[in-house]
Amino acid sequence: VLHGDAQTEIPAFASRIQAARVVCAEDYEPQAIARDAAVAQQLERSGIAWQAVTDQVMLPKSSVMTLQGKPYSVFTPYKKAWLALAAERYAHWQPADDWAALAQVQTGLPPQWRQIQAMPTLADIGFERQTLLQSGGETAAQAALADFMARMHYYADLRDFPAKKGVSYLSAHLRFGTLSIRHLVYLARQADNAGAAVWLSELIWREFYQQFLYHHPHVVNESFQVQYRHLAWENNPAWFARWQNGTTGYPIVDAAMRQLSSSGYMHNRLRMVAASFLVKDLLIDWRWGEAWFAQQLLDFDLAANNGGWQWAASTGCDAQPYFRIFNPVAQSQKFDANGHFIRRYVPELAHLDSKTIHAPWTAKHPVDTRGYPPPLVDHAVQREKALALFKKRG
């Protein structure tokens, strides 16, 4: 086990054991690309080869391109091309099942490979203990996968309803490599039903954002769409704090934000709702929200997080048009009709009926919200402001 700067430690270790080649899993984040390039350069000076292999995606960086040889910036044609290439490349692919043979691999190491330093504790390398509700490791991953396989058929019908067990809950395992993307794609293709098809499409969205980040690394710091790089955001810090704390006065938004802070996870439909509210209702720069999600999400992935936020903000590739603005009350009524999700995370409103709970301030008679705040802003008013903001730049 080595703990230190990759540019120093990896070349030093490779030289010590007289390695002919160093192999690593290829990454697509700008910081990781720069790190790997620096390591490769150091190895080259020592006469050691460097090889990056495909690992976290099915079809890497430039394998799915337009007929003009350019990266896709629209999902639907990318998906069509991805499916065609994947079918060709993995036509006869089967998952490995001979685990017994792997277990027989010799584990003895020559003297020069012996441990250089003691195994560091998590605290030694800067991690802090957390109590969020997500089990890690391959055993937990396989249990979560088995659970989803039993209900994959219903994925298309249930995935948008946060109070129902409709999504896969596998994103963190994909993020940390405790599940293989190739295995998941194989299972989706084998299932061959409507739910599996929609789930496969979501896996392809993940790859779409990965390749997009690789080809357009500048999106980490700025909007992909040039005309929206200098929008006059209001950036009210008090409003941002209310959004972070789940006290905006819009129950579905606050329930989503409280789910995030209590579990390190947020339902995908609610990620869109919460992001849209921050950008289009509170008129706060999408990068503020992106950074907050990056700190909070257990399944944080730079490409997906950046892509999702720019989609919601109408500033990215294949983004939602700026004039399509989520109405948080309408979203609540449609996707949490009985208010079950709101009651779980906003207990102040648990006593309200299924109609009132979505927008208590609209009730014909005053209701006791037990300390829950009134709406921070008027959605209709803020919607017009958002439209004006984008029209000015568009």
Q: Residues with catalytic annotation?
A: 202, 205, 233, 268, 286, 309
DSSP 280: I
**Residue partners of 237: CB distance under 8 A and separation at least 6:** none
User: Count of CB atoms within 10 A of residue 72's CB?
Assistant: 21
Question: 302 and 178 in contact (C-beta within 8 Å)?
Answer: no
Cα separation of 332 and 339, whole Å? 8
Backbone CA torsion sign across 301, 221, 223, 283: positive
DSSP 25: E
The backbone region for 352, taken as left when phi is positive above 0, alpha when psi lies in -120 to 50, beta otherwise, is beta
Q: Would you state the structure tokens that stand for residue 185, as one six-digit string?
A: 């794609």
**Residue partners of 186: CB distance under 8 A and separation at least 6:** 90, 93, 94, 95
* E-assigned strand segments in the chain: 21-25, 49-53
For tokens 């293989």, name the residue: 180
Secondary structure element (H or E) that encloses residue 321, with its range? none
Q: Would you state the structure tokens that stand for residue 370, as one six-digit string?
A: 């037990």
Instruction: Enumerate helices (H) and strands (E) in the chain, giving the number of each.
Output: 17, 2
Which of 268, 245, 267, 271 lies closest to 258 in space, CA to CA? Answer: 245
**Residue partners of 235: CB distance under 8 A and separation at least 6:** 283, 284, 285, 288
Alpha-carbon radius of gyration of the chain: 24
Secondary structure element (H or E) that encloses residue 168, with its range? none
Cα separation of 356 and 375, whole Å? 14
Which of 328, 245, 317, 318 lies closest to 279 in space, CA to CA? Answer: 328
